[in-house]
Structure 1
Amino acid sequence: MHDFDTDGHRARKRFGQNFLSDPNTIRRIIDGIRPQAGERMVEIGPGLGAMTAPLIERLGHLHVVEIDRDLIARLRETYPPTQLTIHEGDALKFDFASLGGEEEKPLRVVGNLPYNISTPILFHLAGFAEHVKDMTFMLQKEVVMRMVAAPGTEEYGRLSVMLQYRFRMGRLFDVPPGAFRPAPKVMSSIVRMAPLPPEELGAQDEALLGRIVTAAFGQRRKTLKNTLREFVGEADFDALGLDPGLRGEKLSVAQFVAIANHCSARR
């Protein structure tokens, strides 16, 4: 069985649909987001509108990005354009900068992110951080634990470093499977991401930082001496005061930035 009938709509497996249905959880999430009238907000994947209705109630107007045409038709029947602007399409390809997000009205992003595209969508959204005030998402708990992981832990990896470089991260609370229809097989968590100010970022070449981090975690069992061979040699490790025998998961975000900036300066 690939689909699940809920409230007359079949939840589609290919879109990773699990619809939030528990009123207490919905209330708790909305209270965590704290939407204020007149704010510019976009919801990714509104689904059957569990969060959409209370968000519109507090904001007055909401933008949504939705790929499922049946759900779009439902939303159009339920809300007038004065309350809801629907952007039809794939959130992975959507230009979030097109929604404005000027200094006086920075964009706020929320959503129950489909599990099957959660990592690529987080990397896509990180590219719009300068337009954003904050992002609050519900994700698989396992993914959230990786997002907020500290160095030296099993969950710490490329996702942790690249998101923590760009955002101040916080896990708010967990959401059990029973809060959804159909119930997923996993626990979910709510995470908040607030972009760090540009002066706190520090990497002279962010693309290079990304390549170094990807290499460091490409083969988890290997030491930095091996994984970062194409970027740094023995003399560089000495200059950085780093032990080449360490593995990538032992390095802090700041240490990765120091490696990238050392390589930029050397070039």
Structure 2
Amino acid sequence: MSEYQHRARKRFGQNFLHDAGVIHRILRGIHPREGERLVEIGPGQGALTEGLLGSGARLDVVELDLDLIPILRERFGNLPNFSLHQGDALKFDFTRLSDQPHSLRVVGNLPYNISTPLIFHLLDHAGLIRDMHFMLQKEVVERLAAGPGGGDWGRLSIMVQYHCRVEHLFNVGPGAFNPPPKVDSAIVRLVPHEVLPFPARDHRQLERVVRDAFNQRRKTLRNTLKGLLDAQAIEAAGVDGSLRPEQLDLAAFVRLADKLCEQTSTA
């Protein structure tokens, strides 16, 4: 029993995983191996950390909560394949850990309040990352894995699927955590594409188009994109301007973004 005790903190959105069956199932999904380079974000009290280290993989953990640092050091600090970084994962420079393409495997039980910005931060390092396995709020995973035509399809789905293949692995009930959250959770696997299926001329313009399109998702594209593209330009991109944004697939959004690039380069 550790001499250190820690209570989950609301301001960090902490819910600690304790269900052994769920932990084993997550570890089976990740399938870490000796010699791999793993990064765990928000290890908490080390529920997953122990199994990840037991694989023989090299593990870097990033933890913000200063009160958890001594607990993690006491449990794992003497292991040669363990490195601890105290800091905010949203500001962490993952290039410090590797310069090899597709070499990092990222894992985390992510606090719900930072999950979306953290995923976008990691996508900035997508070239370094082989895969990511996250515990997230179930509705966030449903949005990540959504397809066009439904209410879950939006900015998060499109920008993540632009960079990654998304797999909703399984759901996890509140009882697996202490304290139990008020929502269901799910495990998702994100695998960055080695070759983008629909490469945009400029992914920042894609972000702009998608953001503007979904700012007023009930309106037609002709209305919601009028600050960027007129009706003629939308039609020229092979898109029906009378559709709502949720009716378009990723390829159509890339065509719109490329049309915007074309316009700005000739302006």
Task: Return the TM-score normalized by structure 2.
Answer: 0.94
CA distance in structure 1 between the aligned counterparts of 2:80 and 2:225, rounded to whole angstroms? 53
Deviations 1:73-117 (A, max 9, x none): 1111111251310111001100112110514x7000001000111
- Could you say which residue in structure 1 is the equivalent of 2:81? 83
Letter in 1 for 2:143: R
Letter in 1 for 2:174: P
Task: Return the TM-score normalized by structure 1.
Answer: 0.94
CA distance in structure 1 between the aligned counterparts of 2:50 and 2:42, rounded to whole angstroms? 13
Which of 216, 220, 225 aligns to 1:223? It is 220
Which of 174, 177, 181 aligns to 2:174? It is 177
1:1-267 matched pairs, under 5 angstroms: 8-79=5-76, 80=78, 82-103=80-101, 106-266=103-263, 267=265
Q: CA deviation at 1:232?
A: 1.3
Letter in 2 for 1:98: R
Q: CA deviation at 1:60?
A: 4.2
Q: Secondary structure at the match of 1:262?
A: helix
> In 2, are the aligned partners of 1:166 and 1:201 still within 8 Å (CA)?
no
CA distance in structure 2 between the aligned counterparts of 1:19 and 1:197, rounded to whole angstroms? 33
Q: Secondary structure at the match of 1:122?
A: helix
Q: Secondary structure at the match of 1:225?
A: helix
Letter in 2 for 1:87: H
CA distance in structure 1 between the aligned counterparts of 2:85 and 2:148, rounded to whole angstroms? 38
> In 2, are the aligned partners of 1:216 and 1:224 still within 8 Å (CA)?
yes
Question: Which ranges of structure 1 fall in alignment gaps of 5 or more residues?
Answer: 1-6
Letter in 2 for 1:261: D
> In 2, are the aligned partners of 1:101 and 1:132 still within 8 Å (CA)?
no
CA distance in structure 2 between the aligned counterparts of 1:200 and 1:59, rounded to whole angstroms? 34
When the two chains are superposed, the root-mean-square deviation of aligned CA atoms in Å is 1.3
CA distance in structure 1 between the aligned counterparts of 2:164 and 2:146, rounded to whole angstroms? 13
Q: CA deviation at 1:261?
A: 0.8
Question: Which ranges of structure 2 fall in alignment gaps of 5 or more residues?
Answer: none
Q: Secondary structure at the match of 2:171?
A: strand
Q: CA deviation at 1:59?
A: 2.7
Report the identity percentage: 52
Equivalent residues, number: 260
Letter in 2 for 1:236: A
Q: CA deviation at 1:265?
A: 2.1
Q: CA deviation at 1:262?
A: 1.6
- Pick which of 59-68 and 36-45 moved more: 59-68
Q: Secondary structure at the match of 2:113?
A: helix
CA distance in structure 2 between the aligned counterparts of 1:12 and 1:59, rounded to whole angstroms? 31
Letter in 2 for 1:228: L
CA distance in structure 1 between the aligned counterparts of 2:149 and 2:32, rounded to whole angstroms? 36
Q: CA deviation at 1:237?
A: 2.4
Structure 1's 68 and 34: CA in aligned 2 closer, same or farther, altered over 3 A?
same
> In 2, are the aligned partners of 1:137 and 1:192 still within 8 Å (CA)?
yes
Q: CA deviation at 1:198?
A: 3.7
